[in-house]
Chain A
Amino acid sequence: MGDFADYARKDFDKKNVVASANNEEADVQFNVEDAKAFSAEETVATTAGTDTSAPVVTTSSTPVTLGRGLDVGTANLVSSFQDNSGNVNLKIQRNAFIDIDCDDYTRNMLTRLGVQYVVVNGRMVVVGDPAFELANIFNRNTRRPMKEGMISPDEADALPIEKMLLETLLEKPKQPGEICYYSVPAEPIDADMNVVYHQGVFGGLLKGLGYEPKPLVEGHAVVFSELAEDDFTGIGISCGGGMFNVCVSYKSIPALSFSTSRGGDWIDRNVASVLGCSASRACGLKEKGIDLTNPQGREEEAVEIYYRNLISYTLKNIKERFESSSSMPSFPEPISIVCAGGTSMIGGFTEVFQQEFEKIQFPIAVKEIRLAEDPLYSVSKGCLVAALSESV
């Protein structure tokens, strides 16, 4: 099949990796001896150089390796590719827009100012970060093509704009049918939402661009980019704008993936509600550089309160899901939890996460809780790893 989800599912079934919900050792059917055979030292690359087995395409500018990663996030879209020097190049676009009156003067000014726009239904739509800045200036809310991790049903203009944003982020494939892994949310456990439509829409848009689209669950992407040193074993959490996506992985195989439907946007909405401002302004406040362990003033305290509440809510959901799952592996050793995503980038996030973690009886032994190396790019990089691994 070539699809990671299928590959993982098949492999997981083959290995019969099942443990009881209460983690009783007797019930565990994990083949630990098999697992030990995968020595990290043996498999890790000796240098951080380029993987030479991946095909390379030389273009007029920079030679790049075939295979693309795309993080389709509620707040940000991030594409990635690897150049011939082994560097990961990323393009980032805020997944937001705002409509303004359309006239020739504005049209010229926006281009001169380096502001991207699209004309949709006779209205000029400013996209990306400038939309966010405009919204803050006018105390308006940006319009969002996505909501709670998926294509927004409230935005009729979402699809044409998303299509154009993807075109600028990814450009045309270097070769027809180039693989592009794109992130999708896992099934939410606290909301009645279906990811099929969202997955199908983005798959279709990428296919229309000439790529071979392959979905990858967000949490799994975090595992690919951040847990190589742990043999891709541990818990990857993507803390996004619309959702928190969790993936428990053993040797790169996802044992359990799910999402919770609260994310950074939930914080923005609540902070905006208590402070009496727009959600976009609350988001700006959140992103200006707050330290959650030392909030200053009423506004920062509001952010800290809702962050703590969100982390606590997510951890409780994770715990409940782990305890009720029949497919949870029992790990031979304590594992790492890695948090990624824009919502995890605020100062003191890991500390607050650790504090809330200690308040609950977590059902799995954890050796460390850490932040991803590049929290905002982690999911895209994970998708890139998956794409490169198949672009042989």
Chain B
Amino acid sequence: MSSAFDVPKAVDKRLSTMAVDELAKRGMRTVKVLDKASIMSLIDEAVETVVADRLAELKADDRERLREEAKTQFKKLVQERNSRQKEQQEAYEERIENLRAQAVSLEEKLEEAERQKDEISTEVEETPVVETVEVPASPSLDVDQIRDVVREAVAEAKTEPAEVASGSQMEDLKASIDALANKVVQGAAATSSKHVEPPSEDALMALFSREGDEKVENNLDQVEIKNAKAGGVAANLAKLKNLQKETE
């Protein structure tokens, strides 16, 4: 293939600049202006016309030769593209394998955490101490880190292959990564929510109903607080009780 001819550059190279005063000295009062875009457009038109004329004049042999050259070039490009695609597929498959291994490891850790939680719950039920409502997480289970890794992998899987492949293989690959990521993220999220699960209302009540050991200095019992009297609630009460009887 011949190298491309840079028309705008060639035009610029041949341009010469002249001051308006110089033109005036030469007796030129008006000039006809042709902008650069118009020049390019004219050149395009001229080239297209010439090429069309020449192609019509080509002999059958020349046409065949041209077709073969184009076909060879096209095949070469496709091979290069497929090779790149294959390399990327292999990389993604390797990553999937890694993620799969991580998922398996996570599941094992989740099971372990569940086991530990059950053990602690049993202990809590047996011991009337309320502070033990929080479930300690497995120390080796770095959920956020794993989630970040998976998110990065999914983000890459969603952006990179779009440039090189759009076939069903890549879609399958993405779906596989997404499914795997979901599995891992859900597992992590479930662990996370268990980790921060607030204590139950009963546990809180038990915690705050305990008598404090220390005596706090105050004068609350020496000072009368604001009192008031309000209309009775006997009518409301009677009506409510009747209503309750009716509904029972």
List chain A positions with a Cβ less than 8 A from chain B: 11, 37-38, 40, 42-45, 47-51, 53-54, 80, 82, 86-93, 107, 110-111, 114-120, 127-129, 159-160, 163-165, 167-169, 194, 196-197, 199-208, 213, 224-225, 228, 231-232, 251-252, 373-374, 377, 381, 384-385, 388-389
Q: Is the CB of A111 within 8 A of B207?
A: no
Q: Is the CB of B238 within 8 A of A168?
A: no
Q: How large is the interface on B (under 10, 10 to 19, 20 to 34, 35 or more residues)?
A: 35 or more
List chain B positions with a Cβ less than 8 A from chain A: 198-212, 216-244, 246-247
If the complex has contacts A208-B209, A251-B243, A252-B243, are A86 and B234 also in contact, measured as CB distance less than 8 A? Answer: yes
Q: Is the CB of B239 within 8 A of A194?
A: no
In the bound assembly, the distance between CA atoms of A281 and B207 in angstroms comes to 37
Residues of A within 8 A of B241 (CB): 51, 53, 389
Contact among B198, B200, B229, B243 with A232 in the assembled complex (CB-CB below 8 Å): B243
If the complex has contacts A119-B218, A120-B216, are A44 and B208 also in contact, measured as CB distance less than 8 A? Answer: no
With contacts A89-B229, A389-B241 known, what are 19 further pairs, Cβ within 8 A? A38-B242, A44-B238, A45-B235, A48-B234, A51-B238, A51-B241, A93-B225, A128-B226, A197-B204, A200-B200, A200-B208, A205-B209, A208-B211, A231-B239, A232-B243, A252-B243, A373-B231, A377-B230, A384-B233
Residues of B within 8 A of A87 (CB): 229-230, 232
Contact among B216, B230, B238, B246 with A38 in the assembled complex (CB-CB below 8 Å): B246
Q: Is the CB of B228 within 8 A of A164?
A: no
> How distant is B231 from chain A, measured CB to nearest CB, in Å?
6
Q: Is the CB of A208 within 8 A of B229?
A: no
A-B contact pairs, 5 of them (CB 8 A): A37-B246, A45-B237, A200-B202, A252-B240, A389-B240
Q: Is the CB of B219 within 8 A of A203?
A: no
If the complex has contacts A44-B239, A91-B225, A228-B240, are A200 and B233 also in contact, measured as CB distance less than 8 A? Answer: no
In the bound assembly, the distance between CA atoms of A13 and B224 in angstroms comes to 46
Residues of B within 8 A of A208 (CB): 208-211
Q: Is the CB of B235 within 8 A of A82?
A: no
Q: Is the CB of B242 within 8 A of A111?
A: no
Q: Is the CB of A201 within 8 A of B204?
A: yes
Q: Is the CB of A194 within 8 A of B198?
A: yes
In the bound assembly, the distance between CA atoms of A93 and B236 in angstroms comes to 25
Q: Is the CB of A225 within 8 A of B236?
A: yes
In the bound assembly, the distance between CA atoms of A111 and B219 in angstroms comes to 7
Q: Who on chain A is nearest to B241 by CB?
A: A389
Residues of B within 8 A of A384 (CB): 233
Q: Is the CB of B226 within 8 A of A88?
A: no
Of A120, A169, A224, A228, the most chain B CB neighbours within 10 A belong to A228
